[in-house]
Structure 1
Amino acid sequence: MLEPLLIFDPYILFLLGLGAVVLLVSWAPVGLKRLPLTLAILCVALGVAVFSTGLLAFDPDPRTWDTATERLTELVVIISLMGAGLKIDRIPGWRSWSTTWRLLAVAMPLTIAATAWLGWSGLGFSMAMALLFGASMAPTDPVLASDVQCGPPGSGDEDEVRFGLTSEAGLNDALAFPFVHLAILAAAGGLATQAGLTDWFSIKVGWKLLAGLGAGWLVGKLLGYLLFRSRRGGLSKLTDGLIALAATLIAYAVAEVVHGYGFLAVFVCAMAIRGTEREHDFHQEMHDFSDQIERLLMMLLLVLFGGALANGLLASLTWTDALIGLAVVFVVRPVAGLIAMIGSPPPWRERLLLAFLGIRGVGSVYYIAYGINHGDFGNSERLWAVVGFIILLSIIVHGVTATPLLARLARRSDACAAPDFPADAAPANPPASKNGD
């Protein structure tokens, strides 16, 4: 009896899919420049198409693979945070980073509070699940926000909008963590006890933030010295961009060993390395390597996210859930961002973009997975559906609008900066010549 001509080995199909994703990472950004599509949208669509065929028995549902989801998203986020830190040219300071502090100190808490309230009053979530919902929606995702972030190190592509969104994404992934721990504490009934709240404030807020900050700074300074300031003139000429991955993993691990926030450590480590020798060309090499790894893992995750959508991630979504998701994307973050920017120096157009382009993505998936894996929140199917819908909505809406909006802002800025007369035109009142003519 003749064997079938086509035998769909899952492993071979996986290799085929991985090869297609690598090609997309390499080629698609060039081909999509003039289309209202992004690589993220393309990969989600690819995942939906592939997993809808039924050829793959594997179901990438995060509700089934909760631990794997937590670890994989964690890896992608920390690699993205290293890239974000290396991109920023601006030296940290109270005034120069005022946009960042406003978004972190005002917009993020308002977003958490408003989203948690919507989860509790609108979706009927318990207090613990509503807090987890709010905390997961707080971070501006550093992974999916590459299109709205600063350009490579030293490129000069760092207007106030791109800088604000990049620096916010670099820091609020760590600053949302205390609120995730607060949700876990609420799930355990600890909000009613003074001991639980004291532990949360002193350890989960105080120590973990300080330990993450200190670990990242020390690792970054040490690596920066070895790369640029050591006795033999630095090791940067003897290494390659793989150092970026090493720095990411070391900073994250050291912070976790001392019970600090690894997300914060990675971003601070990148900033410390950059600050050691700010203009060195090796920063570009590290950034490029980190960016390639990040894009590859991000695209793989988005294909799996599309597969989860195809296999029913949004099956329990109701019209109420969808309306709440729309409110989070189009009302909560924009309003919180605009409130945060009241009285700030940037023009109102830049404030609007800073408020609107609060992309939600991989970081939100990580926090949901982390919370569910470390606390007892009960049935989380509806929570996953709402979060999945918000992420899909953000990928589409922000993906389609971000590049045109930023390009339009750049054109207006160039037009305002341009002189009113051609560069080769003679001035209206030319100075008199030495001869008095």
Structure 2
Amino acid sequence: MSLPEWSFFVGVLLVSMVLAGTLLGRLPLTGAMIYLVLGWLLGPRVADVLRPDPYAHAAALQALAEVALLISLFAVGLQLGVPLRDWRWRLPLRLAFVSMAAMVAMVAAVGVAWLGLPVGAAVLLGAILSPTDPVLAAGVPSDRGAKPDRLGFSLAGEGGLNDGAAFPFVMLGLGLLGLHELGPVGWRWWSVDLVWATGGGVAIGGLLGAATGRLVVYLRSRHDEAVGLDEFLGLGLLALAYGVAQLGQASGFLAVFAAGLALQRVRERPRSGSRPLPAATDSQGHSYETLATHSHHASATMRDSVRGFNEQLEKLAELALVLVVGAMLAYAKPLPAVWWFVPLLLGVLRPLSVLAATLGERLTRSQRVLIGWFGMRGIGSVFYLLLALHLGLAGRVADVLVSLTLWTVAASVIVHGLTAQPLMQRYLSRRRAARGR
């Protein structure tokens, strides 16, 4: 299509999503489901407008997926307001590491025994399909803030952590296939890909997020400087955390997530003798400049502004990538294994992996069941698939991984999108009823 035709199409799509927003809220549909179908219709099998061939354009598509994932991870970090030492972080951490490791092992076993894949390819498949999606998890209400419901908070925290936690397993699979250097006796994998990438990514992102946030709040509340351009602040911190981490061979995904968490944790440092602003009496309220430079309100104003912009950016990233995934389905070979593998992964292996991670946790039966069901697959899986293709994955193994990954993501978008609203409404109504007793 020409630029004017693309402009017309994008304009109609965006305005239609705004106008249909209320209707979508009443139906068991999500924006991702609509984008997926539109992507398929625009792809080679129907309109032949989008041709995102993952084999021929792996590098460009990988970059698109990476940007979308970074935006979503930063957004999740900005939204989780539970203190880092709070006990509620225990379950997301167990889901992100214990559940994910169990999932990698189970998928790898299925890959070797039933799909006939070599061990490296089976481990790679498990690593690609292990991370849950922070964007799609947004469809599950999480009461994000200082006192969230444990179900939604755990799913959001898991989605923010496990995209970075999956990296060592992806590198292990690629190394076993000869596409990545593991080092003698796997020393490079253990020291760099596993220990340093994980710990270094969290440390770099946390330090940069906290330092940047505190510096901006100090300049605003003490010197009336660095006011405005919060969009630049959000994008700049995201890029800075990712760049420093990647240059230092740490996980850029964990760094960006940790930077969002750290920025969200920056608190006010009121001047001695000062008081909070009184409630505004007119319809306009206090101006942005007044709030941004007041020592009682500077950090909250900064957080809200950065979060609001990033949430809108996240929606655009979701639109672009899910459209591309829908069109990419045309390049997924119609393997018979898809029909049993996808239900097995979503309906059996995910709940089993959650069971391993939640042993000993005080969860209600409905919370345990819903956490086991809502294992959304999405941007992280697509990114790691494209990374593997970019690094040289080819042949039958590539065909199997492309087909299983893309159809798993498409199935997850649909089945989790259809079930999120009714299941969560039922869960929330039962929770309210229990509280009223």
Same fold (TM over 0.5): yes
Aligned-partner Cα distance in 1 for 2:388–2:211: 33
- Which residue of structure 2 aligns with residue 356 of structure 1? 373
Q: What SS class does the counterpart of residue 63 from structure 1 fall into?
A: coil
Q: 1:24 deviation in Å?
A: 4.6
Q: Does 1:334 align with 2:360?
A: no
Q: What SS class does the counterpart of residue 43 from structure 2 fall into?
A: helix
Of 214-223 and 26-35, more deviation after overlay is shown by: 26-35
CA contact (8 A) 1:40 1:395 kept: yes
Aligned-partner Cα distance in 2 for 1:298–1:39: 9
Q: In the alignment, which of 219, 240, 264 is matched to residue 274 of structure 1? A: 264
Q: What SS class does the counterpart of residue 96 from structure 1 fall into?
A: helix
- Which residue of structure 2 aligns with residue 185 of structure 1? 175
Of 232-241 and 367-376, more deviation after overlay is shown by: 232-241
Aligned-partner Cα distance in 2 for 1:100–1:45: 31
Structure 1 segment 162-177 matched on structure 2, within 5 A: 162-177=152-167
Q: Does 1:288 align with 2:308?
A: yes
Aligned-partner Cα distance in 2 for 1:13–1:54: 17
Segments of structure 1 that go 5 or more residues without pairing to the other structure are 1-8, 420-437
CA contact (8 A) 1:116 1:134 kept: yes
- Which residue of structure 1 aligns with residue 385 of structure 2? 368
Note closer, same or farther for the CA distance 1:94–1:130 as it changes in structure 2 (3 Å cut). farther
Q: In the alignment, which of 397, 400, 408 is matched to residue 382 of structure 1? A: 400
Note closer, same or farther for the CA distance 1:194–1:272 as it changes in structure 2 (3 Å cut). closer
Aligned-partner Cα distance in 2 for 1:414–1:281: 32
Segments of structure 2 that go 5 or more residues without pairing to the other structure are 269-298
Aligned-partner Cα distance in 2 for 1:302–1:214: 31
Aligned-partner Cα distance in 2 for 1:282–1:152: 18
Q: 1:287 deviation in Å?
A: 1.5
Note closer, same or farther for the CA distance 1:24–1:119 as it changes in structure 2 (3 Å cut). farther
CA contact (8 A) 1:228 1:235 kept: no
Structure 1 segment 34-433 matched on structure 2, within 5 A: 34-51=26-43, 55-93=47-85, 95-148=87-140, 150-151=142-143, 158-188=148-178, 195=184, 197-230=186-219, 232-233=221-222, 237-277=227-267, 280-309=300-329, 312-314=330-332, 316-379=333-396, 380-419=398-437
Please give the per-residue CA displacement for 1:210-252, whole angstroms capped at 9, x wherever unaligned. Answer: 2212210221012111232347447675333442222111111
- Which residue of structure 2 aligns with residue 434 of structure 1? none
Please give the per-residue CA displacement for 1:17-67, whole angstroms capped at 9, x wherever unaligned. Answer: 322342255344322011121111111111222336855454122222100
Of 18-27 and 172-181, more deviation after overlay is shown by: 18-27
Q: What SS class does the counterpart of residue 280 from structure 1 fall into?
A: helix
Note closer, same or farther for the CA distance 1:194–1:73 as it changes in structure 2 (3 Å cut). closer
Note closer, same or farther for the CA distance 1:382–1:28 as it changes in structure 2 (3 Å cut). farther
Q: What SS class does the counterpart of residue 61 from structure 1 fall into?
A: coil
Aligned-partner Cα distance in 1 for 2:180–2:318: 36
Task: Provide the aligned length of Structure 1 versus Structure 2.
Answer: 405
Of 89-98 and 267-276, more deviation after overlay is shown by: 89-98
- Which residue of structure 2 aligns with residue 432 of structure 1? none
Aligned-partner Cα distance in 1 for 2:49–2:435: 57
Note closer, same or farther for the CA distance 1:153–1:230 as it changes in structure 2 (3 Å cut). farther
Of 226-235 and 343-352, more deviation after overlay is shown by: 226-235
CA contact (8 A) 2:93 2:161 kept: no
- Which residue of structure 1 aligns with residue 25 of structure 2? 33
Aligned-partner Cα distance in 2 for 1:338–1:235: 51
CA contact (8 A) 2:33 2:414 kept: yes
Compare CA radii of gyration and give the structure with the larger one: 1
Aligned-partner Cα distance in 2 for 1:231–1:15: 39
RMSD of Structure 2 on Structure 1 (CA):
2.3
Of 32-41 and 207-216, more deviation after overlay is shown by: 207-216
- Which residue of structure 1 aligns with residue 8 of structure 2? 16
- Which residue of structure 1 aligns with residue 296 of structure 2? none
Q: 1:170 deviation in Å?
A: 0.9
Of 366-375 and 172-181, more deviation after overlay is shown by: 366-375
Q: With the length of structure 1 as denominator, give the TM-score of the two structures.
A: 0.86
Q: With the length of structure 2 as denominator, give the TM-score of the two structures.
A: 0.86
Aligned-partner Cα distance in 2 for 1:65–1:40: 23
Q: 1:16 deviation in Å?
A: 2.6
Q: 1:189 deviation in Å?
A: 8.0
Aligned-partner Cα distance in 2 for 1:65–1:84: 29
Note closer, same or farther for the CA distance 1:398–1:285 as it changes in structure 2 (3 Å cut). same
Note closer, same or farther for the CA distance 1:65–1:194 as it changes in structure 2 (3 Å cut). closer
Q: What SS class does the counterpart of residue 343 from structure 1 fall into?
A: coil
Aligned-partner Cα distance in 2 for 1:385–1:223: 42
- Which residue of structure 1 aligns with residue 288 of structure 2? none
Q: Which amino acid aligns with 2:229?
A: T
Note closer, same or farther for the CA distance 1:121–1:297 as it changes in structure 2 (3 Å cut). same
